[in-house]
C-alpha cells in the first residue's frame, strides 16, 4: 500500500510539473522581449464623420491613399511603435500635399488570439493642422492583425477620433468603420 501511494505521488508530481510547463508556453506566439514596429495606417477605409454644426454627418470611403478625406484624422500616416512584451508606445504622423499634417502619440496593448491573429488595442491623442484650422483630441483603435508571416501583419478595425477645433470652427467625431493598414515587426 505504501509503494502504491509513493508511486501515485511521484506520477502526480511529474504530471503536475508537465502541466505547468505546458501552460507557461500555452501562448508561445505572443510577443516576448522588445520589438520595433513600422506601420502604414489608415491607407484605406470607410469613415462616418459628424460635425458639430453644418454639414451633417457623411460617410466617405478611401481606396489606396486617395485624397478625398474630409477630415485630417482620416489621412494615411506612418507609425513607429516600440513593444516591451505586449505593451507598445509610439507615434504616427503624416502630411499631404494639401497642407494637411497630423501627429498622434499613443500607447497600446497586443493580444495574441492565435498564432496568425492578434488584437492590437491603441489609444492616444492627436494634433492636426489643415490650412488655418487646427484640431486636437483623443482617439482609439481596435485593430485585428493577421500575420501571414511572423514579422508582417495586415490590420483592419474600427477607429474613433474626437476632434476639437480652434476658434469658431466646428469640431467633429469621426468613426472609422473599417480602417486598413500594414505593419512590419523588427
Across the chain, mean pLDDT equals 80
**What pLDDT is attached to residue 44?**
85
The three cell numbers locating residue 37 = 514596429
**What pLDDT is attached to residue 65?**
57
pLDDT range class, residue 22, cuts 50, 70, 90: very low
**What pLDDT is attached to residue 59?**
63
Element housing 124 (H / E):
strand 117-130
Residue 89 has pLDDT above 90, yes or no: yes
Domain ranges within the chain, ordered by starting residue: 1-27, 34-185
pLDDT digits (tens, 9 = 90+) for 105-123: 999 999 888 889 999 999 9
**What pLDDT is attached to residue 166?**
87
CATH of 34-185, one of 2.40.160.20, 1.10.10.10, 2.60.40.10, 1.20.120.1230: 2.40.160.20
- DSSP annotation string for 28-91: TTS--SEEEEEEEEEEEEEEEEEESSSS--EEEEESSS-S--SSGGGS-EEEEEEEETTEEEEE
**What pLDDT is attached to residue 24?**
41
Amino acid at each position: 500500500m505504501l509503494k502504491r501511494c509513493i508511486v501515485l505521488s511521484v506520477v502526480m508530481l511529474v504530471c503536475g510539473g508537465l502541466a505547468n510547463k505546458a501552460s507557461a508556453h500555452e501562448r508561445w506566439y505572443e510577443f516576448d522581449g522588445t520589438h520595433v514596429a513600422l506601420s502604414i495606417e489608415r491607407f484605406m477605409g470607410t469613415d462616418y464623420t459628424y460635425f458639430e454644426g453644418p454639414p451633417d454627418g457623411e460617410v466617405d470611403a478611401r481606396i489606396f491613399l486617395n485624397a478625398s478625406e474630409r477630415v485630417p484624422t482620416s489621412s494615411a500616416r506612418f507609425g513607429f511603435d516600440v513593444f516591451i512584451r505586449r505593451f507598445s508606445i509610439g507615434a504616427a504622423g503624416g502630411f499631404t500635399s494639401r497642407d494637411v499634417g497630423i501627429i498622434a502619440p499613443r500607447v497600446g496593448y497586443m493580444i495574441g488570439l492565435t498564432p496568425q491573429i492578434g488584437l492590437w488595442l491603441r489609444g492616444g491623442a492627436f494634433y492636426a493642422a489643415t490650412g488655418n484650422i487646427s484640431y486636437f483630441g483623443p482617439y482609439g483603435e481596435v485593430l485585428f492583425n493577421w500575420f501571414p508571416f511572423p514579422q508582417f501583419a495586415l490590420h483592419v478595425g474600427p477607429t474613433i477620433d474626437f476632434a476639437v477645433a480652434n476658434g469658431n470652427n466646428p469640431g467633429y467625431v469621426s468613426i472609422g468603420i473599417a480602417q486598413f493598414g500594414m505593419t512590419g515587426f523588427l
